[in-house]
Amino acid sequence: MKKLDGKTALVTGSVQGIGLAIAEALAGAGARIALHGLATAEEAETAAEQLRRAGSPEVRFFEADMRDVPAIERMMRDVADWGGPDILVNNAGIQKTVSLAEADAATWDAILAVNLSGAFHTMRLALPGMASRDYGRVINIASVHGLVASVNKAPYVASKFGLVGMSKVAALEYADAGSKQAGGVTVNCIAPGWTETAIIEPQVAARAAQFGGDREKGVANLLAEKQPSRRLSDPAEIGSLALWLCDPIAHNVTGTTIPVDGGWTAQ
């Protein structure tokens, strides 16, 4: 029997990158997957088929703009009607590298809405149902920028620090829900460092341009500043950690933020 048989997992921003890798790991453990993203029908079906091949017994696609509260509420009702979510992974996120002097209100509002407010709304709607079933997992994909800062990322850093803090509050509020046997209800963050995803490509491209377009040299130069391992993580590594956090054995791991950053935040 697969560990997540009978469980339903909603993974936001899961048609590509880290979100898809997490959804694939959960699918492999037998979870039904509520796939989410702003995607074409073809993109959504491609991701859904990948998850079915990984082992998910059922995959459904849910589309909601994470800046739109009524849309989030509709999605959460639809997922609840489908039988879940037992597992909620808030992965959807956006980033824009810009200085404080150059940032504008629209940039701030968009990043905070998707990265922080969107997670607030999914959590407030999902956690009571998890508690009633004695099992639930919220995994918020923060970032090393939920633990440390970098220049030219004020809106992004603010959103991720906020996500870490909000997760601690939720962990405390639901710490005594459920049981050891059922798995309880836990809320944790994963904080990836440099990971091979589309969101870092603008920064990689900028560094590669300094080396005549050599991407490998650009990556090495970028990582040398912050990530001591000088190795990019693969999204599948984040998926494996998320899967472990969903195991009932992790019932007492709550309110934590786990970096996957090659030593970045150890400095």
CA dist., res. 267 & res. 226, Å (int)? 9
Identified catalytic residue from 61, 62, 135, 156: 156
Q: What are the structure tokens assigned to 158, written together?
A: 């603010």
The answer to whether residue 156 is catalytic is yes
Helix %, strand %, coil % of the chain (to 5): 50, 15, 35
What is d(CA 38, CA 174) in angstroms, rounded to the nearest whole number? 31
Classify the C-alpha dihedral 258-155-74-53 as positive or negative: negative
**Cα 121 from Cα 239, distance rounded (Å):** 23
Tell me how far apart the alpha carbons of residues 226 and 262 are, in angstroms, rounded to a whole number: 9
What is the C-alpha separation between 267 and 264, in angstroms, rounded? 6
Q: Residue 62 in 3-state DSSP?
A: strand
How would you write 209-220 as a 3-class SS string? HCCCCCHHHHHH
What length is written for the chain?
A: 267
Q: Catalytic positions, please?
A: 156
